[in-house]
Structure 1
Amino acid sequence: MGFEDDFAGDELDRAVWVPHYLPQWSSRAESAATYTVGGSQLRLSIPAGQGRWCAGEHEEPLRVSGVQSGVFSGPVGSTVGQQPFRDGLRVREAQAVQWGWTPRYGRLEVRARMELTARSMASVWMVGLEDEPRRCGEICVFEVFGAAVDGSGAAVGMGVHPFRDPALHDDFATPRLPIDVAEPHDYAADWRPGRVDFFVDGAHVRTVEQAPDYPMQMMIGVFDFPAHPAAAAHAGHVPLLAIDRVRGG
């Protein structure tokens, strides 16, 4: 059965989306996204007053507004949780299990635009549920760093990351595309057994000859790096990732 969310109305569908970024390593309060829903669009932003994510735990200063279509963790003090960013990381706030949208194979499509500077980036990716340790691989639908955007286009990252999945290997590339990422574009990954094909605006960009073989959840996020060398020059800018729709099928 297909999935589609065009963000109609003025509320996020909380049965599908968790408006927090990996809250088990922080807390719901400290990982809450800044977002609005309106005009058939989800808008994630990072205003000046938004605090750091996992301050004191994440070595590089990081601010993020993200939503995810599932969440899972072990109890407080355990090492069980999705996407740990270092070995030995402990759960700080246990999360009730929620599987909002967790497909296994299919075509994944996102229509998005972004407003970035050299100190920010935006990304949409699928990640394994990690309800079993090996089910942790990633399919990156797109990843764009503002530092890789100029008048000629943008470097758009896409590919597969294994993390701790022994069946996968890293296969990730950042092809430079002649697109203005501040305008809406369609980013897609056609995920099949043993293969993922990546597309932008319907045009095939690259293929990875491997694929995670388990259910995955979608992660959507915009990120700010306060310690970036260009941070001061862009201190007043509010990073934005606007999503018109998400489709899967």
Structure 2
Amino acid sequence: MADLTAYSLDFGDDFRGPELDRSKWPPFYLPHWSSRRAAAANVETGPNGLVLSIGQNQPPWLPAIDGPIRVSSIQTGAFAGPLGSTIGQHRFNPTLRVKEAQPTERLYVPLYGRFEMRARMHLCPGQLAALWTIGFEDEPERSGEITIMEIFGDSVDAASAELGHGIKAINDPSLVTEFSAPRLPFSPARFHVYAADWDETGVSFYLDERLLTRVEQSPAYPMQFMLNVYELKPSNAPSPRLEVDWFRGYRRKAAA
């Protein structure tokens, strides 16, 4: 196991309750650009943990701009400007305007720490599962992304998969995108622990406690978590499923 003696548990969820804990995870994907109704996640919790999937009749979350993409996502914060403004988290298209005003929620928005998720996923081509952080974006340039895990179903075969991880600058001029997706000999359909250790100097990425890489740059502002599955194009394939046993966030202890 990872040596966590230098850390204290800051946030955790094993998703065993009968419903998603809304004090930790609003179940809407960037609802300010769409609406809570269109962006609502298909989510289950219970004895086996969290399951995110795409419902049979679930609509595309933002068809006018993002096409047929359907997504189920939970996140640990929300911030956007007033109706009609261009202020909002993860503004991935310059035409985006706030369509539905949202309450500001800072449920778990840490600055630095170690973060771990034990999960498995079932993905077909045209599907995606991911765990990433985004800047809270209370200032527009605070928009960088730390991708802890990003797996496309197209990359998965019987013996391996491509595991995306790294930093994306998005609209942060202080960052440079440094992202890779090496093919690794593992099966995403089995449980693995995906982790990142983020400090003032950089971010280290891990799979089952094995160091994959370290990026020597670091967003210097609080970030929230995004946990999601996507269907990127219409398909007759089974729904993507992301099954999460637990998620944990740790804060480094102050020096004695």
* TM, length-normalised to structure 2: 0.92
Q: Distance in 2 between matches of 1:240 and 1:8?
A: 17
Q: Distance in 2 between matches of 1:124 and 1:43?
A: 14
CA RMSD of aligned residues (A): 1.0
Q: Distance in 2 between matches of 1:221 and 1:18?
A: 12
8 A contact 1:154–1:179 mirrored in 2: yes
Q: Distance in 2 between matches of 1:208 and 1:236?
A: 36
Structure 1 equivalent of residue 127 of structure 2: 120
Q: Secondary structure at the match of 1:16?
A: coil
Q: Distance in 1 between matches of 2:183 and 2:47?
A: 31
Structure 2 equivalent of residue 241 of structure 1: 242
Q: Distance in 2 between matches of 1:192 and 1:140?
A: 15
1:147 aligns with 2:154: yes
| Equivalent runs, 1:49-198 vs 2, <5 Å | 49-58=57-66, 60-198=67-205
1:215 aligns with 2:216: no
236 and 117 in structure 1: CA distance in 2 versus 1, 3 angstrom threshold: closer
Q: Secondary structure at the match of 2:65?
A: coil
1:176 positional shift: 1.2
> How many matched pairs?
242
1:201 aligns with 2:201: no
8 A contact 1:67–1:219 mirrored in 2: yes
8 A contact 1:9–1:40 mirrored in 2: no
Q: Distance in 1 between matches of 2:202 and 2:123?
A: 31
5+ unaligned residues in a row in structure 1: which ranges? none
168 and 107 in structure 1: CA distance in 2 versus 1, 3 angstrom threshold: same
Structure 2 equivalent of residue 26 of structure 1: 34
Q: Distance in 2 between matches of 1:90 and 1:19?
A: 21
* TM, length-normalised to structure 1: 0.95
Query: How many percent identity over aligned positions?
Result: 45
5+ unaligned residues in a row in structure 2: which ranges? 1-7, 251-256
| CA shift digits 1:195-237 (9 cap, x unpaired) | 100000000011101010111000000000225xxx3xxx141
Structure 2 equivalent of residue 47 of structure 1: 55
